[in-house]
Amino acid sequence: MIDPKQYTYKVSAAGRVNIIGEHIDYCGGKVMPAALSLANTVYIRPNGTDRINLSWTTLPDSVTFEIGKLGEYKHLAYGKYQAGSAYLWQRAGHKIVGCDMVQDCKVPFGSGLSSSAAIEVSTIAALATVAGESFDKVEVALTAQAAEREYAGVNCGIMDQYASACGKKGMAMLLDCKTLECSYLPLELGGYSMVITDCKKPHNLVESRYNERRAETEEALKILQGVLPNITCLADVSQEQFTTYRNLLPEVIQRRALHVVNECARVRQAEEALRAGDILKLGKILNESHESLKTLYETTGFEPDVLAEAAQSHPACIGSRLTGGGFGGCTISLVESARVDEFESYLLEQYHKKTGYTAVCYKTEISDGITVEKL
Ligand code: GLA
């Protein structure tokens, strides 16, 4: 049990759900994530030493980092994300002071809801706060992304860390990953609710398969730049241009790029649908996105497909898709609010029958990104 009175600040950063716009952040696309109330919370106090002492509510261990040697903790099983985040913040020229922190992570690990982004972002925000610095949330997000790349070996885009830092309560974000401009749109779903369900299938090789997809899109970009010299990223390619030039791409690369181009268009359609309050249309777009991730981008897998398809088969559900990096993790489903309980029991039962795994539906809300509280 944490005694908050023993600490100076409580700093949180959110997990995130991605509503639409999958695997296009690193292609310069516009994405529509939202921050969740499932968050990583850091209780922190200065300790007047040149050390950072880190412990967790969920683990018996604790670790100590020397402030002068923050680059040397990459090998740790637990604590490397925190050390990496501290190191990259320090390398960017910020002050790190000795402190004690205990972390309480409520974002389920391996769920595709960005527990690592929540840990990185909250660690940096907490370290800046305890050092008496104010911080720019976007700079925190970019530094956290760099930590993810260097310390987790995932060549990720900016979506997760940005959403974790800059999300707003009740709002969907419209983040342009090329310019980092972000606007917010109330996530008003009429008589529908968003249900988030974890397929709970342990997955492996996620990092290498993710990096492989990213390399494939880079290959597509390089080839298309040969005929479209003005494009700087795959998201710049229109559907018409893609139809004209797609045959220049090898077959697999063509399917990956087709997903990206269409998914960018789906984000635009989803924005229109949400602005118009056309939630049925939004549901249809979610289904199309899942199908594209399954057949073109190939980042779903047996269990996620069973989960999304079982959701789609329930009459109260108007759309469902796998959210996040893929190869496991969570689906989001839009479901008639009055029938959520019935939907969840049906979904969990169908899924268990077909896969043998027990899925979990999370209770969570759309919340703020970073929050800082003086204790
Ligand atoms: C992971 C990455 C993000 C993004 C998604 C897929 O969550 O961290 O940058 O690429 O996958 O949309």
The residue ranges of every structural domain in the chain are 4-186+367-374
pLDDT at 19 over 80: yes
Q: Which atom of ligand 1 is nearest to the CA of 148?
A: 8
pLDDT at residue 73 in the model: 94
* Triad 83, 39, 5: Cα angle to 5°: 80
Residue 203 has a pLDDT of 74
CA–centroid distance, 315 to ligand 1, in Å, is 30
Indicate which atom in ligand 1 lies nearest the CA of residue 157.
9
Cα distance between residue 346 and residue 314, in whole Å:
8
Catalytic residue among 25, 160, 236, 368: 160
Give the pTM: 0.97
Cβ-count burial 160-177 (b if 16+ within 10 Å, e if not): bbbbbbbbbbebbbbbeb
- The CA distance from 90 to 250, in Å, is 43
The set of residues, in sequence order, having a beta carbon less than 8 Å from that of 18 and lying 6+ positions away, is 31, 32, 33, 159, 163, 323, 324
The architecture of the domain spanning 4-186+367-374 is 2-Layer Sandwich (3.30)
DSSP 282: H
Atom of ligand 1 nearest to the CA of 214: 10
- Report which of 40, 61, 164 is spatially closest to residue 104, judged by C-alpha positions: 40
- Closest by CA to 19, choosing from 271, 348, 351, 344, is 271
- Look at residue 347 in the predicted model and tell me its pLDDT: 98
Q: What is the DSSP letter of 40?
A: E
pLDDT tens, 255-268? 999 999 999 999 99
Tell how far the Cα of 324 is from the centroid of ligand 1, in angstroms: 6
Segment 27-56 mean pLDDT: 98
Give the pLDDT of residue 148.
93
Q: Which residues line ligand 1 (CB under 6 A)?
A: 18, 22-23, 25-26, 156-157, 159-160, 324-325
Q: What is the mean pLDDT of residues 278-292?
A: 98
Which pLDDT score is estimated for 77?
87
pLDDT-based confidence at residue 153 (cuts at 50, 70, 90): confident
Structure tokens given for 114: 């960005």
Atom 11 in ligand 1: which residue has the minimum CA distance? Answer: 325
pLDDT exceeds 80 at position 108: yes
239 CA distance to ligand 1 middle (Å): 22
Is 160 designated active site? Answer: yes
Tell me, what's the pLDDT at 262? 98
Per-residue model confidence as pLDDT tens digits over 175-223: 999 999 999 999 999 999 999 999 998 777 688 899 999 999 999 999 9
| H helix or E strand, kind and range, residue 268 | helix 251-276
Q: Which residues make Cβ contacts (< 8 Å) with residue 362, sequence separation at least 6?
A: 38, 108, 111, 113, 196, 197, 198, 330
Mean pLDDT computed over 104-113: 94
Residue 61's pLDDT band (cuts 50, 70, 90)? confident
Instruction: Return the best residue to mutate from 159, 203, 206 for the ligand 1 pocket (most ligand atoms within 8 A of CB).
Output: 159
Beta partners for residue 43, in sequence order: 10, 102
Q: Across the chain, what does the average pLDDT equal?
A: 96
Segment 127-151 mean pLDDT = 97
Question: Exposure of 261 by Cβ count < 10 A (0-12 exposed, 13-18 middle, 19+ buried)?
Answer: buried
Give, rounded to a whole angstrom, the gap between the first and last alpha carbons of the chain.
Answer: 16
- Specify the ligand 1 atom closest to the Cα of 325: 11
Mutate-to-test residue for ligand 1 from 23, 213, 331, highest number of ligand atoms within 8 A of CB: 23
Say what the pLDDT of residue 152 is. 82
